[in-house]
Amino acid sequence: MSETALPQGSAKPPPAETLRRIERHAGALATSAVARMDETLPWFRALPADQRSWVMLVAQAGVRSLVEWLRSGGAIEDSTQEISDEVFAAAPRALARSITLTQTVQLIKVTIDVAEAEVAVLAAPGEEEPLLQAILKFSREIAFSAARVYARAAESRGAWDARLQALLVDALLRGDSSDVLASRAAALGWADAPPVAVVVGRSPGGDITAVLHAVYRAARRGRIEVIGGVHGDRLVVVMGGAADPVATATSLAASFGEGPIVVGPAVPSLDQATESARAALAGFRAAPAWPGAPNPVSADDLLPERTLAGDMEARRKLRHDAYGALSRAGGGLLDTLDAFFAAGGVLESAARELFVHPNTIRYRLKRVAEVTGLSPLDGRDAFALRLALAVGRLDPAT
């Protein structure tokens, strides 16, 4: 590199003639850069007029900053960052939301290409190579500045999204109106893909934005929609488009902390997800009563524990779906269950109690399983059925 180049540290500014030439050509240089963008970048041509004007402002600010940077010799790193950051201060923050980081890099490349092509006009005789090296170094600083702008915008957007999602989850838990849920979901870009289910588990702790980012990453791999929020020590996730909610929750399990993960029942849309959220929360509170439960576990599989914990919805479901279904089916199913449980699960003893053949008991127990979905021959299902009989008889009118 020649003595007039701009190395790191103590570099002298280029000759005054070079600076004057750049200042005189600043407007034309910015205009040429924008014209080249229009020629080579199809997406740039599609931008609205106001956004194109913002890009022109940024290009002009870039040329002015280049002159100032050259005048200082680019010797102080802090001033280099400050000058390069001022380039993007010329445009409103909305530009960062309209143009992606990849597109911004394309704009910078086009501008630098135009500046390189004009080096012979901009530089004083003999200063072409040092000026070219200076432009390349300054373009690097501009690229770093663009990355900082987008990083700050992403951090702000991430923090805002986390707050908005927490508000949406809170509205779900409170049972707010469907209009409130719809407006907040729309602000988050939620695509209401059925079915919708809510998952509740322990939060892994740490920064909330990082916790939710892990959930989103897992959701993208599973091709599902998610909205999440951290409430105290609980992580609440709303899943959309999960045909098998429990299986889908298994793919998200690594994003939760230690402890039970409970999946609420699937519902058709977000405005009905309050039911799923309440069931999942009730199941989460009752899950410690079943140490051997699978993880994740369906909230409906925890109906007995939820009933014992005071969940009225679980009590209603046991009474209606089990005891009520057996009452409506008739055929001596309730009496058969009583005799079977009283006999400790011995078919022959139950048959003698009812004066019927053991095969009749077998048939009726099979009917119980068909009517309720719970098999008396399974220990877990038998527990749920015995509790359903007790609940149903405590509230026979309902």
- Locate 233 and state its tokens: 């020590």
From the CB of residue 369, how many other CB atoms can be counted at a distance below 10 Å? 15
Q: Are 280 and 262 in contact (CB under 8 A)?
A: yes
The pLDDT of residue 306: 97
Could you tell me if residue 133 is inside a domain? yes
pTM of the model: 0.62
Could you tell me if residue 306 is inside a domain? no
128 and 199 both lie in a single domain: no
Could you tell me if residue 1 is inside a domain? no
Could you tell me if residue 164 is inside a domain? no
Point out which residues pair with 197 in neighbouring strands.
239
Domain end point (choices 240, 273, 300): 300
246 and 270 both lie in a single domain: yes
Q: Is 49 exposed, middle or buried (0-12, 13-18, 19+ CB in 10 A)?
A: exposed
136 and 247 both lie in a single domain: no
289 and 206 both lie in a single domain: yes
Q: Number of structural domains, the chain?
A: 3
Q: Average pLDDT per run of 10 along the chain, which is 398 residues long? A: 39 71 82 87 85 78 75 54 53 62 77 83 83 80 71 57 68 70 68 87 88 88 86 90 92 94 93 89 96 95 96 94 93 94 94 94 95 94 95 79
- Residue 60 domain boundaries: 16-153
List the Cα angle 94/155/79 in 5-degree steps: 80
